[in-house]
A and B are shown apart, each in its own frame.
Chain A
Amino acid sequence: MKSTSEENQLQVHGLEVGFKNKKKYTQILNGVSFNVNKGETLCIVGESGCGKSLTSLSIMGLLPESGEVRSGEIRFEGQELTNRSMKEMSKIRGNEISMIFQEPMTSLNPVHTVGKQIIEAIRIHRNVSKKEATERVVEMFELVGIPSPRERVHNYPHEMSGGMRQRVMIAMALACDPKLLIADEPTTALDVTIQAQILDLLNELKGDLDMSIVMITHDLGVVSEMADQVLVMYAGEVIEYTDSKSLFENPKHPYTQGLIASIPKLQGKTEELPVIKGAVPNPDEMPSGCRFSTRCAFAKQECFDQSPQEEGTEAHPVRCWMYSAEWQQMTPLKGGESNGYTTDGAVDREPIRN
């Protein structure tokens, strides 16, 4: 894909991740590759279950016990992360790479004050006194826009609203000046107005703190607001990867096109993307051809049998037969363009959702 450069904060190459239970291994991520440059925001976009969260957890080294990185590289500032021990990773986590999660309501420990939880994070990585750490928390609270920060430090999570809690999470994530922030759907669980505030905050902080962001979202509105680069994932594969502008102006993959077409006129809270028919196939029942073929309006016969390769330009790769040289020779589906075929077995199953 794209060439590596000195500017790279994070490089992910050919990442294959799956779950193992007893004898069976189910692969979820299928050769995911991308780069995040310093100071850049990369948005990973896709439906639930496409592997975006798994990608971020792989970077953090926080895969669930049954999860496993089969192959591929994750380089942070040129350092390989996949072979790091738990202990080595914990020095990076929260320090150089931080993460905020989708559910601010449950992501904080209910029995400790928020201040204590951030102080703990600071003192793992910085050799400071409790008092200094507290000062730092207050500072961070101010930074993330928590009113009367000095008092709020003593609050328990349940005494705060969702937006405030997400600000606390951000404060916690940023407390040690990370170089990379991974935000996993940070606004999904919040009200629309709060969503915007949080996104603004992130944008603002990104500039102030000179960090890179990997933002995971299913919401193209968020993408348009935040992203420098966009990675579109579908069923564990990268299907399109480009800068934000090209993506919106020139979406190539039928899936991306569908996504963009489905943006509501009035930006509202959307749980999922309802317009594209069907759902992400079950990882155990992956189509042998293009993974999107079952839902693709343009799919031809060969789409179902053979996986497409990366096509398009280096700056805007796309995984779709439409952009290959063979497209014109491929056999159209009987019965016209519309693809009425849906996968029954995959109804309401969400194998990878964090």
Chain B
Amino acid sequence: MLSFLLRRAGLMIVILFFVSIIVFSLVNVLPGDPALMILGQEATDESLEALREDMGLNDPLVMQYFAWVGDLLQGDFGQSFRDNTEVSSLLAEKIPITLQLTVMSFAIAVLIAIPAGVISATRKGTLWDSSATLFALSGVSLPPFWLGILLIFIFAVTLGWFPPSGYVPITENVAQSLWYMLLPAVALGVRLSAELTRMLRSSLLEVLGSDYIRTGYAKGLLERAVVYGHALRNSILPVITVSALQFAAFLGGTVITEEIFNIPGLGQLLVTSIQTRDFPVLQGAVMFMALAVILINFLTDVLYSILDPRIKLTGGSQ
């Protein structure tokens, strides 16, 4: 168990190292002079040069890299070029917003995917199955931004049921917060639910053909109990793994969804940081996203081994 954890943690660190190299090199070849970005249109040459020196922009790149990583390791993500805010506090501010969107999207996705997957697997070949399959197919092909715009058009502009965009912090008003975030969560969740439905269906079909399902029926369980009590739990394991692998793509979806619905989360922070050449923020946001993806996958592996008693946590690779 311990060796498994250590091995995986070591792997994570190596990957993070590579992520940091990617992020650093990306940002350092981005066109745009950070000093000018900070001082803006009315800057003078002297103040620009002074600031460049001060920010270490005149140091060799390798030095800059190590200085940056060194700070990162101490939890110092640097300061925003825009307003000198600590990047870490910016992240701390934005992460809960994106987390709320993520949680709501996953909730919606699961609420749709479980019944849809179960129905299509247990009623294989029926109209239900075809509709669920069709839903899964179209959902997977629906770009979140297009679905988002469609939802805005239907439910906000035409019907007026929802606000077309915006965000209310959940700490201020829970109901309103959920209400504002429902459309974006649906826009993201539908695609996810389509993926999940697809995976769950095939996974369930496999499990439903297994001997212990027959045992379940033989001992007098009703279909519902067999499906939800036995089949679902077993078939959800591979779904969890695959959806963890989808997490990176999901985060990518939050970026554009936040942009469309004007949700001030991590994604919008990232887009703004690219637009305003706010490098520390950009670096911080990308590093965090990669870290989240890596951590989620790690935790999924661990969770998987807990949920499936057959898997022993040994040093073996995936």
Contact = CB atoms under 8 A, between A and B. Distances in A.
Check A-B contact in the complex, CB < 8 A. yes
Contacts of A107: 211-212, 214-215
A47 interface: no
Contact of B214 (A62, A91, A110, A120): A62
Contact of A110 (B212, B221, B222, B223): B212
Given A110-B234, A111-B233, A156-B310, A121 B220 contact: yes
A156 B309 contact: yes
A99 interface: yes
Interface string B187-226: 0000000000000000000000011101111111111010
A105 to B, nearest CB: 8
B212 A108 contact: yes
A125 interface: yes
Scoring B220, B234, B308, B310 by chain A CB atoms within 10 A of each residue's CB, the highest score goes to B220
A40 interface: no
Contacts of A65: 124
Contacts of A117: 215
B230 interface: yes
Nearest to A172: B219
A296 interface: no
B61 interface: no
B315 interface: no
A107 B229 CA distance: 15
A121 B234 contact: no
B220 A90 contact: yes
B222 A87 contact: yes
Contacts of B124: 65
A111 B215 contact: no
Given A110-B308, A111-B234, A158-B309, A91 B220 contact: yes
A213 B211 CA distance: 21
A85 to B, nearest CB: 11
Nearest to A116: B229
Contacts, number: 80
Contact of B222 (A62, A90, A98): A90
Question: Chain B, interface size: which category?
Answer: 20 to 34
Contacts of B210: 106
A92 B310 CA distance: 32
A95 B220 CA distance: 7
B220 A125 contact: yes
A103 B229 contact: no
Given A62-B214, A158-B310, A169-B215, A109 B220 contact: no
A141 interface: no
Contacts of B234: 109-111
Interface in B84-128: 124
B308 A62 contact: no
B249 interface: no
Contacts of B170: none
B216 A109 contact: yes
B220 A111 contact: no
Nearest to B216: A109
A94 interface: yes
A110 B234 CA distance: 8
B307 interface: yes
A93 B217 contact: yes
Interface string A96-126: 0011010100111111100001001100110
B223 A86 contact: yes
Given A109-B230, A110-B309, A111-B307, A62 B216 contact: no
B218 A94 contact: yes
A137 interface: no
Given A107-B211, A107-B212, A98 B309 contact: no
Contacts of B308: 110-111
A264 B234 CA distance: 42
A109 B212 contact: yes
A93 B220 contact: yes
A96 to B, nearest CB: 9
Contact of B309 (A90, A103, A111): A111
Contact of B217 (A62, A106, A120): A62
Contacts of B214: 62, 101, 107
Contacts of A158: 309-310
A172 B234 CA distance: 20
A120 B225 CA distance: 10
Q: Which of B124, B221, B233 has the most CB of A within 10 A?
A: B221
A54 interface: no
A99 B221 contact: no
B211 A124 contact: no
Contacts of A93: 217-220
29 contacts: A60-B217, A62-B214, A65-B124, A86-B222, A90-B222, A93-B220, A95-B220, A98-B219, A101-B211, A101-B214, A101-B215, A106-B211, A107-B214, A107-B215, A109-B212, A109-B234, A110-B212, A110-B309, A111-B237, A111-B309, A111-B310, A120-B221, A120-B229, A121-B221, A124-B220, A124-B225, A125-B220, A169-B215, A173-B218
Interface of B: 124, 210-212, 214-223, 225, 229-230, 233-234, 237, 307-310
Q: What are the nearest 9 A-B pairs in CB distance?
A: A94-B220, A94-B219, A121-B219, A106-B211, A93-B220, A107-B211, A109-B212, A156-B309, A99-B218
Given A90-B217, A93-B217, 4 more contacts: A106-B211, A108-B215, A110-B212, A124-B221
